[in-house]
Structures are given as C-alpha cells and as structure tokens.
C-alpha cells in the first residue's frame, strides 16, 4: 500500500456515546470480524472494560476497504473516553491524521466531547463530526448540530447521522474517512523513523510495541535502536492488528502496526520514543508528556498472608500500566503494603477491581489523597503523598515556609459559555482534593445526572492545610489520619468519631 491509500484515524467521544459499538460495526463491514458472532465490543478486551462499559487501554485495528475501485488500508485507533485516561487519548492521536468526533444525538455535547475535540484540534487533525444514536426516540439531531456549530464552529446541516447500533449510515463513515482525512505523509525510501505510541506485555510473545511508521520500513531481522535509551534490539516479528496480531513481511511509511523484539521489560518501551535502524540514526520526535499521578492511596492485603500474592499481582498489572507508581508503605494498623499513585479515582477503582477479579486477592484501599507540596525555609520542596509523611505540628513554623495543594481547572478561569438555551459550560479552578473525594458524585446527583465533568492540572496554591489524626485510647491510628483544609477538621473529625462509635465495641 502506497501512503496515499492509507488512512489513520481514531474515534473520539464522551463516554457511552458509542465509540466501541461504531468500531465493531466498521470491523464487521470490512470483514475483520464476522457479523454472526455478535462478539460485542471486540476492542474492549479487559473484563473490567466489558463490565463497566469503559475503554481503559487504547486498541488498534487495521481494515481494508474498497472505494471507487481503489483499495485502502484503514487503521482505526480506539481511544479511552474518560478524563483519567486522557494521556492515552493524546498518544493515540499522535499516530492519526484525523478523527471521527461521535456525539450522542439525544445527550448532545458533554464534557469529554469538548475536551477530546480540543485535544484533536490542537494536534492539527481533521475532525469529522458524526451524530450517533439517531434511532433513539429522544434524539434531537437538529439541536445537537446547532450546539456543535456554536461550540466548535462546525458548518451546520452537513453532519452524518448514524445509528451505530443498527448499522444505519455507518458505511458512510468509512467513505468520509477515505475522502476527508488526509493520507499520512512519509517516504518509504528514507531510513526508518517510527514513533512508539503504545505497548503491552503478552505472556507468549513478550513486549509488543505499537508503532506508527513515519518514514522508511521495518521487517524481521532489522537491527533497531531506541533514540531515548540508545539500547539496540533485533526485530523478530512485525505485523498489523486485525483485530489480533497478524504477521506481515514488513511495515512501510504511513502504516501503523506492531513489532516484537528482544525487549525484556515494558519499562524499556517509552511512549513517544523514536525507533530507527542502528546504522541510520534520524532526528527523534518531540515525545510525550509523561502522565503524572494525581491521586495516592495506601493498598494493603485484607489477609496479611496474601502479601506475596498481592505483590505478584501488582507487578503483573503495572507491567501493562506504567502510569501507576508503586512504593512500599508500612502501617501500624494494616501492616505491610504499598502507596500507589494513580491518574484519577476511576483509574484507582479500575486497578483495584482488576486486582480482585483477575488475581483473586481481597484488598483494603485507604482514602485517596492528592500530592501536597511542602516548602522548607531553606527553599527546598518536598512532595507529600501520604498523611504519614505530612510534617507534624511541632515542626510547623520551625523550618516550614508553606504548604500548597494542587488545583484543577478547564478552559479560562471562572467563565460561563452558553452553547444553547439549556446548556452551559462552566470553567472553574478547584483544589484537586475536592475532586478526588465525592465532587463527581455530588455533581451528578445535584444535576440529576445531566452535568458532566472534565479537568486538567492547574498548578499549586498555598493553603492552610493540616493533618488530622484520630486517636483510639489516646493512641493515634495512622490508617485514619488524613490531610485536609483547617476548616474541614471539625466536621470530618466528628463524622469519623460518630462512625467509630458504632463500629468499635465498647
Ligand atoms: P463508548 O463508551 O463510547 O465506547 O460507548 P459504547 O459503544 O460502549 O456504547 C454505549 C451504549 O450505547 C451501549 O449500551 C450501546 O449499545 C449503546 N449504543 C451505541 N450506539 C447506539 C445507537 O446508535 N443507538 C442506540 N440506541 N444505542 C447505541
Ligand atoms: Mg468503549
């Protein structure tokens, strides 16, 4: 396939707007999966993804499609929809030239519709708006088109209206992808220059690297090198995902596919790294922002005999999710455990659920905290990820200059934007400690489920933070300690005391 008959695209949408369903239909139309099997949501492979209906790991599939007598190789890169995983969205988008922005015609624009649109737009991708679920009785396609016009300046009356569920008009999505998304630019005669955008560990094959070939080609036997680490490898297999691994002779400029080499651990696979031939170095890509953990929690086995088993399970899970940080932690009350860092609370929930379901260990997870910054009078800064490490009151004012907490925001500060007479985008700056607790649940219940939320990092701000300790028989219990704003101590303290009174025997 020449570059001009290749298309690399992804589907982006708010959660539940139908990405996975549309992906299934596209794979059926192109014969990658059979219609008979009714194998719902092929690209969502983890049990937790099927159960919760969310996509955690991005997955890629290649398909072939013929239009006007010409054959096209179309690479679909599925992306997760939740904010906690937005780093997976941007890395997937880097391998694409365009995206299909899917919007539920009944629900209209939601928080992640906006966030994902700007991610794609800022990367200069062609965005094709598509209205899904037009079969629903509550669908209001005209109204949603108007919202899309107001919010993103899409031209009205040119939107594709589909039902991913029934398959109606879905083939037109492929036609638009072929007609409107530019083909990748690349030269297969140049030396290999490829971008690593995803990787995972497979028990049989080892580390699998997903790459986008920008220039040149790659085949079995090639001696390649990572621009980031300088480590050399020999390629043992290349191929495409369709939907499973399918060996091919080679991968050429413009294509997306995988390679397997003698890489031992996934920690050698840096997302955003450039791979080239050992003998022909090239200029590396800019690379990606490393995802930063924003929520920390202590994790302990319910039964201390399960410690080893849990250690193995954590090792296995972090093999495929390098965004989780792991440090040992010991608690007087709960024994030996770990302090884990996650991208958000959903990320944390998904991790806990996978431990319990895929590895059959029961765990205790402590109340999540955000990373606090403690500035000492000598100017040095410390990141506090656990109440146990929070400076105690004796030290305060002695060598501590200030304590600050992280904030989240979206868009410009404290603004209101009306996108139609019944929908408004509100941007605000909030301490992230508020968001990681029950902010999302409260927002959903106060708005009867209509409001949606998205957030991004907005730096640190000084605050009057204290560590609240809870004492049982005059002994502080480390597992119950928490860092909070001074104004919260009394209500939170009374609340815990009340609950402990009922829980603990006299
Ligand atoms: P994702 O979170 O964006 O991947 O969304 P899914 O593909 O998992 O779809 C979420 C839900 O919407 C599922 O229950 C689908 O069956 C349903 N759904 C998807 N597309 C349509 C559609 O065109 N019409 C209707 N009525 N339901 C749909
Ligand atoms: Mg999905």
Whole-number Å distance between alpha carbons of 52 and 367? 22
Closest Cα partner for 223 from 212, 232, 213?
232
Range with lowest mean pLDDT among 137-141, 403-407, 411-415, 458-462: 411-415
CA distances from 250 to 30, 77, 143, 307 (A): 22, 20, 47, 45
Task: Give the mean pLDDT of 198-204.
Answer: 81
Q: How confident is the model at residue 147 (pLDDT cuts 50, 70, 90)?
A: very high
Closest Cα partner for 192 from 233, 251, 268, 266?
251
Highest mean pLDDT among 1-15, 80-94, 177-191, 487-501: 177-191
pLDDT on residue 63: 93
Which ligand 1 atom is at minimum distance from the Cα of 132? Answer: 23
| Bridge-based pairing state of the strands 363-365 and 295-301 | antiparallel
Task: Give the mean pLDDT of 28-53.
Answer: 65
Question: Is 90 exceeded by the pLDDT of residue 376?
Answer: no
Q: How confident is the model at residue 38 (pLDDT cuts 50, 70, 90)?
A: low
Whole-number Å distance between alpha carbons of 387 and 339? 11
Task: Give the mean pLDDT of 334-354.
Answer: 87
Q: 264-299: per-residue pLDDT in tens?
A: 887 788 878 899 999 999 998 876 566 678 889 999
Q: 204-251: per-residue pLDDT in tens?
A: 888 999 999 999 999 999 999 999 889 999 999 999 988 888 999 999
What residues are designated binding site for GTP? Answer: 13-20, 78-82, 132-135
Highest mean pLDDT among 175-179, 280-284, 327-331: 175-179
DSSP string, 117-133: HHHHHHTT-EEEEEEE-
Encoding tokens for residue 473? 């028989």
Range with lowest mean pLDDT among 358-362, 395-399, 403-407: 395-399
CB-defined site of ligand 1, < 6 Å: 13, 15-21, 53, 55, 81, 132-133, 135-136, 163-165
Question: In a mutational test of the pocket of ligand 1, which residue from 18, 49, 80 has the highest number of ligand atoms less than 8 Å from its CB?
Answer: 18
Closest Cα partner for 431 from 347, 494, 373?
373
Question: Counting ligands in written order, which one lies closest to the CA of residue 22?
Answer: 1
pLDDT on residue 56: 47
**What's the distance, Cα to Cα, between the start and end of the chain in Å?**
76
| Bridge-based pairing state of the strands 6-13 and 98-104 | parallel
pLDDT on residue 58: 47
Burial of 79 (0-12, 13-18, 19+ CB in 10 A): buried
Question: Is 80 exceeded by the pLDDT of residue 448?
Answer: no
Question: Counting ligands in written order, which one lies closest to the CA of residue 173?
Answer: 1
Task: Give the mean pLDDT of 31-42.
Answer: 67
Whether ipTM exceeds 0.90:
yes
Which ligand 1 atom is at minimum distance from the Cα of 136? Answer: 26
Q: 422-447: per-residue pLDDT in tens?
A: 788 888 888 888 877 778 778 877 88
Please provide the average confidence, as pLDDT, over all residues in the chain.
86
pLDDT on residue 88: 63
Which ligand 1 atom is at minimum distance from the Cα of 44? Answer: 4
Per-residue burial over 104-137, b = 16 or more CB atoms within 10 Å of its CB, e = otherwise: bbbbbbbbbbbbbbebbeeeebbbbbbbbbbeee
Name residue, tokens 């299909």.
100
């Amino acid at each position: 396939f020449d570059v001009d008959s290749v298309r690399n695209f992804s589907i982006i949408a708010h959660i539940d707007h139908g990405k996975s369903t549309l992906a299934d239909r596209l794979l059926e139309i192109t014969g990658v999966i059979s219609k008979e099997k009714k194998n719902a949501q092929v690209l969502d492979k983890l049990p937790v993804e099927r159960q919760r209906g969310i996509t955690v790991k991005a997955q890629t599939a290649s398909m072939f499609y013929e239009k006007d007598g010409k054959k096209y190789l179309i690479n679909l890169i599925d992306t997760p929809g939740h904010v906690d995983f937005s780093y997976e969205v941007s890395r997937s988008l880097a391998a694409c030239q365009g995206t299909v922005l899917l919007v539920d015609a009944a629900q209209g624009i939601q928080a992640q519709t906006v966030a994902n649109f700007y991610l794609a737009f800022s990367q200069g991708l062609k965005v094709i708006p598509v209205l899904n679920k037009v079969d629903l009785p509550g669908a209001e396609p005209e109204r949603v088109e108007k919202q899309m016009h107001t919010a993103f300046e899409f031209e009205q009356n040119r939107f594709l209206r589909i039902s991913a569920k029934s398959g109606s008009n879905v083939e037109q999505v492929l036609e638009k992808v072929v007609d409107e998304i530019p083909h990748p630019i690349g030269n297969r005669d140049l030396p290999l220059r490829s971008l690593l955008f995803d990787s995972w560990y497979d028990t049989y094959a080892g580390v699998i690297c997903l790459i986008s070939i920008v220039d040149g080609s790659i085949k079995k036997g090639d001696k390649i090198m990572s621009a980031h680490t300088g480590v050399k490898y020999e390629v043992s297999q290349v191929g495409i995902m369709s939907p499973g691994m399918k060996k091919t002779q080679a991968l050429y400029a413009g294509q997306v596919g995988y390679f397997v080499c003698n890489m031992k651990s996934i920690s050698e696979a840096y997302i955003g790294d450039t791979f080239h031939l050992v003998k022909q170095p090239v200029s590396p890509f800019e690379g990606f922002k490393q995802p930063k953990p924003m929520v920390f929690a202590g994790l302990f086995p319910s039964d201390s005999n399960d410690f080893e088993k849990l250690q193995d399970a954590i090792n296995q899970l972090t093999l495929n999710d390098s965004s989780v940080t792991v440090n040992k932690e010991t608690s007087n009350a709960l024994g030996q455990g770990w302090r884990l860092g996650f991208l958000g609370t959903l990320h944390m929930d998904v991790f806990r659920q996978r431990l319990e379901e895929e590895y059959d260990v029961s765990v205790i997870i402590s109340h999540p905290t955000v990373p606090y910054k403690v500035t000492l009078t000598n100017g040095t800064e410390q990141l506090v990820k656990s109440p146990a490490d929070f400076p105690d009151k004796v030290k305060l004012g002695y060598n501590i200059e200030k304590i600050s907490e992280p904030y989240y925001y979206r868009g410009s500060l404290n603004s209101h934007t009306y996108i139609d007479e019944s929908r408004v985008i509100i941007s605000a700056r909030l301490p992230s400690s508020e968001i990681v607790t029950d902010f999302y649940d409260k927002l959903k219940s106060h708005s009867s489920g209509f409001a949606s939320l998205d957030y991004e990092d907005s730096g640190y701000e000084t605050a009057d933070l204290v560590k609240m300790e809870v004492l049982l028989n005059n002994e502080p219990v480390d597992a119950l300690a928490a860092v909070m704003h001074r104004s919260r101590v009394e209500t939170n303290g009374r609340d815990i005391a009340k609950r402990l009174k009922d829980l603990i025997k006299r």
